[in-house]
Amino acid sequence: MKSAKPCKKIVVKFGGSSLGDPERLSKAVASVVNEAKRGTKIAVVVSAMGKTTDVLMNTAKNSSNGKLEKHELDDILSMGERTSVRIFSAALRTNGVESRYFDPRDDDWPIITDACFSNANPSRDQCEQRIQRLVLPLVEKGVVPVIAGFVGRTVEGKVTTLGRGGSDTTAFLLAEALKADEVVLATDADGIMSGDPKVVVNPRRLAEIDVNTLVGLADSGAKFIHSKALKYKPLSVDVRVISSAHGDLTREGTVIKGALASELDVEQASQSPIAEITVVGQKIIDNPQIIEDMLTKAKKHSQLVGMSTNTNSAILYVSAEKPLDDFFNDIHQTVLANSEAKAMAVKKDLVFLKIRGVGLEETQGIIGKISEVLRVNGINIAGILTIASSILLFVDWNQREKALELIRKSLRSQ
């Protein structure tokens, strides 16, 4: 006799735009009802409806001359989500699906945070314990819990808000503790696009994207998922971003895979020494042929690990795993062939260090701190690049062990 197939378990988050009017709200509710009737076990996270949070923020600040305490403002801002859970849960019940909502004033509220009001940080251990004890039994019984996203509570009982991407953070915390099969983020877009539809024509929906790639877009201002929320995405749980407009939680969208490194750390990113080739001149950037030639020749001779350009110079960082004499001479020919380029210089025997991890983009002064600890210990930085939530450093190859140790200690003291 075959054993029964276990029910699929998902966490669904509806953003504010997906709840912005009665029609959208009805579609969101219908999508949960239909999925629940298929036997799927569901936990729902809701944002404030439409622009409610913005209205609350402006009203609170204008009426108090900006003198509200942060904890008072958080309590006010939480009202948008706290209203949404009541409406959504009631709508589920009237459509034949058993449900109950969770409010931060409830004794069994699951999301516990620190007291960093307006940008609170969840206590992962406490959240996991409380979700498993207080939310999981409901899910397993087929009751749909509806939980206010973006909102937390301190151990002393004060309401907090989680800051940017807070509702996504709530969904990820639930998914990890519930051991969900999937997180579905229902938005006003068909998924994550190749470009902002407001900026480019005919952007393409991405079928899949790795979280480390996505965080680079988030840090560049793209409004997909904020990087603070992404650090809570469980490694073993895929996230599917879909449009809520179709009222169907099974829609194709963009699947987000992987997880971010859990802590700030530094690593040696290349096992071979690196060479730095600098070409200087006047308005080099106005002649794309120079840049194209340099990149083509780098690809021919070696592995390119980094590049930096400005108006009057271009710098390549390449692996010196193989001899580079022919490459240097090829770049020199590019210099001679273009009037905008005047001369080139080569620096050999560098090490390529990469600093990355959760919270890098939010850690103020980190580049200055790293630079200072290297300076006082006599280590010169040959080059530095920042891209996609990482800092790339190039220092002397013979000082690599010392540099790794100093940077790692500096990061641990953040």
For residue range 192-211, what is the model confidence (pLDDT) as tens digits? 988 887 788 888 999 999 98
Per cent of the chain over pLDDT 90 is 73
The whole-chain average pLDDT of the chain stands at 91
Structural fold of domain 9-257 = Carbamate kinase (3.40.1160)
Mean pLDDT confidence for 31-52: 96
CB 325 within 8 A of CB 293: no
Residue 139 has pLDDT above 90, yes or no: yes
Instruction: Tell me which CATH code domain 265-412 carries.
Output: 3.30.2130.10
- Predicted local distance difference test score (pLDDT) of residue 106: 94
Give residue 220's pLDDT band: very low, low, confident or very high (50, 70, 90). low
Mean pLDDT confidence for 308-312: 91
Residues of the chain with CATH 3.40.1160.10: 9-257
CB 249 within 8 A of CB 185: no
- Predicted local distance difference test score (pLDDT) of residue 375: 93
- Predicted local distance difference test score (pLDDT) of residue 398: 95
- Predicted local distance difference test score (pLDDT) of residue 164: 84
Residues 148, 104: Cα–Cα separation, whole Å: 8
Residues of the chain with CATH 3.30.2130.10: 265-412
Distances (CA, A) of 139 to 36, 249, 382: 11, 17, 55
Give residue 44's pLDDT band: very low, low, confident or very high (50, 70, 90). very high
Give residue 1's pLDDT band: very low, low, confident or very high (50, 70, 90). very low
Mean pLDDT confidence for 13-19: 94
Single pTM value for the model: 0.80
- Predicted local distance difference test score (pLDDT) of residue 222: 56
Residue 77 has pLDDT above 60, yes or no: yes
Q: What is the pLDDT of residues 227-266, one digit of tens each?
A: 788 889 999 999 999 999 999 999 999 999 998 876 778 8
Residue 49 has pLDDT above 90, yes or no: yes
